[in-house]
Amino acid sequence: MLNFKSALAGALALALSSHAVPAVDRGQWSNVHPEVREWFKSLKNSNGISCCDTADGVRIEDPDWKENVDGSYEVYARGGWQHIDQKHVIQGTNKVGYAVLFWPSFFKNPICFVPGTSG
Query: Would you say residue 2 has pLDDT above 50?
Result: no
Closest CA to 113 of 79, 76, 80: 76
Give me the residue spans of the domains in the chain.
2-114
Strands 99-102 and 57-60: antiparallel
**Helical (H) or strand (E) element with 17:** helix 2-17
Contact yes or no for 27/83 (Cβ under 8 A) = no
Tell me the per-residue pLDDT of 73-100, one tens digit each, with 9 for 90 and over. 999 999 999 999 999 999 999 999 999 9
pLDDT at res. 9: 42
pLDDT at res. 14: 37
Cβ neighbours of residue 107 closer than 8 Å, sequence gap 6 or more: 17, 21
Three-state secondary structure call for residue 76: strand
Tell me the per-residue pLDDT of 24-71, one tens digit each, with 9 for 90 and over. 445 555 677 889 888 888 999 998 989 976 667 899 999 999 999 999
Cβ neighbours of residue 77 closer than 8 Å, sequence gap 6 or more: 58, 60, 64, 101, 103, 110
